[in-house]
Amino acid sequence: MSALLSIRDLEVTFATEAGPLPAVQGVSLDVAPGETLAIVGESGSGKSVTMLSLLGLLPAGAARARQVVFDGQDITALDEARLRGLRGREIGIVFQDPMTSLNPVLTVGRQLTEMFELHQGLSRGAARAAAVETLSLVGMPSPKERMATYPHQLSGGMRQRAMIAIAVACRPKLLIADEPTTALDVTIQAQILDLIARIQEELGMGVIMISHDLGVVAGVADRIAVMYAGRIVEIGPIDAVFDAPRMPYTSGLLASVPRYDLDADMPRSIPGTPPDPLARPSGCAFRPRCAEARAACAASPPPALRPAGPPPHEAACILVGEERERT
């Protein structure tokens, strides 16, 4: 089956006063229709920027990719107007904080009907009916009444439901959820994740779930991509990556997750901090924090991961090569 989304060699560089800042370096990934891909990494690892570049929401000229094929169409070649037709209609996005991501002076209904008017040319009445239907799809109680409320009148969880309603209003083929539960109470988080999973099944969407929280993605993702310092350092089926991480950074991430269900050791943190993107170390960017680092790691960065074709579980690490030589 061909991929719904396929990104090849994405580079994002921001012009800053201190010089060009490489936020994303050579990212390639695929998302199959109906699949959930999780992208995890620390803040600043480039996971959100990757997705914003996909939608063309970054400053002009910041993003460059050899190829971004979405639903059979190379969207790097699209002009702004065509790209706008894609945004919201074919690709929906849910942002982290529904309080600031919803317009405070417009009703929930207006922010939702706008989608149908823009992308499907519906009349006001028809858009309203569609909006009420979408609100009930996302489990908003008494959706008709909720149409007239403003974001500040809703609870955090209800706000995120409204945000999701906007994102899936036009039945997109791909939903990007950028830390959809980070701003929410723990008790609400599971509800929102369940909701996204349910809608995904109902609409058959591909989902990209961005998170810094491995616990969040563990239950929902089919595959996981780990990003560090602007690169994907490990990618593979979620069980494979969780059971046998191949890159020391991934192992470190997994070891730092508190496990209350196991009688395991205390969570261990990874020593050090991610490198300053303006002064990344030579070779592998994780080298200074890596317990397994050796001289060869400083020479050149591991080759960027190519998601196409086997093996499905790959890591950008010198250890992987050594392991292969041994077997």
Partner 1 sequence: MGRYILGRILQMIPVLLLVSLIVFGIMRVLPGDPALLMLQGAEGGVTTPERLEALRERMGLNDPVVVQYWTFLTGALTGDLGESVRFREPVLDMVLDRLGSTIELALAGLVISVLVGVPLGMIAAMRRGGWIDAFTMTFSYLGASMPVFFLGLILIYVFAFGMGLFPSAGGTGWRSLVLPGVTLGLINAGLIARLMRSSMLEVLGEDYMRTGRAKGVPPGLLLRRHGIKNALIPVVTILGLQFGNMLAGTVVTETVFSRPGIGRMIVTAILAKDYPLIQGAVLFLSIIYVTANLLVDIAYAWLDPRIRYGD
Q: By the criterion CB under 8 A, which residues form the site for partner 1?
A: 55, 57, 81, 84-89, 93, 95, 97, 100-107, 114-115, 118-119, 150, 152-153, 163, 166
CB of 108 to partner 1, least distance (A): 11
> Which one, 103 or 256, has the nearer CB to partner 1?
103
> Which one, 16 or 100, has the nearer CB to partner 1?
100
DSSP letter for each residue of 243-264: HS--SHHHHHHHHTS--SSS--
CB of 12 to partner 1, least distance (A): 16
Strands 63-70 and 5-16, by their bridges, are antiparallel
Count of helix runs (H) and strand runs (E) in the chain: 13, 11
CB of 127 to partner 1, least distance (A): 13
C-alpha–C-alpha distance, residues 119 and 23, integer Å? 32
- Which among 298, 244, 234 has a CA at the least distance from the CA of 45? 234
CB of 95 to partner 1, least distance (A): 6
With left for phi above 0 and alpha for psi between -120 and 50, is residue 136 left, alpha or beta?
A: alpha
> Which one, 100 or 123, has the nearer CB to partner 1?
100
Amino acid letter at 256? Answer: S
C-alpha–C-alpha distance, residues 57 and 133, integer Å? 29
C-alpha–C-alpha distance, residues 256 and 216, integer Å? 14
> Which one, 120 or 136, has the nearer CB to partner 1?
120
> Which one, 169 or 253, has the nearer CB to partner 1?
169
> Which one, 121 or 311, has the nearer CB to partner 1?
121
Strand order in the sheet with 73-74: 19-31, 5-16, 63-70, 73-74
C-alpha–C-alpha distance, residues 310 and 306, integer Å? 9
C-alpha–C-alpha distance, residues 160 and 151, integer Å? 10
> Which one, 85 or 272, has the nearer CB to partner 1?
85
CB of 143 to partner 1, least distance (A): 19
> Which one, 93 or 135, has the nearer CB to partner 1?
93
CB of 92 to partner 1, least distance (A): 8
C-alpha–C-alpha distance, residues 169 and 181, integer Å? 20
CA R_g for the chain: 21
CB of 183 to partner 1, least distance (A): 11
CB of 73 to partner 1, least distance (A): 16
Q: Contacts by 182-189 with C-beta closer than 8 Å and gap 24+?
A: 182/96, 182/97, 182/211, 182/212, 182/213, 183/96, 183/97, 183/98, 183/99, 183/156, 184/156, 184/157, 184/160, 185/156, 185/157, 188/156, 188/157, 188/160, 189/216
> Which one, 9 or 114, has the nearer CB to partner 1?
114
CB of 65 to partner 1, least distance (A): 19
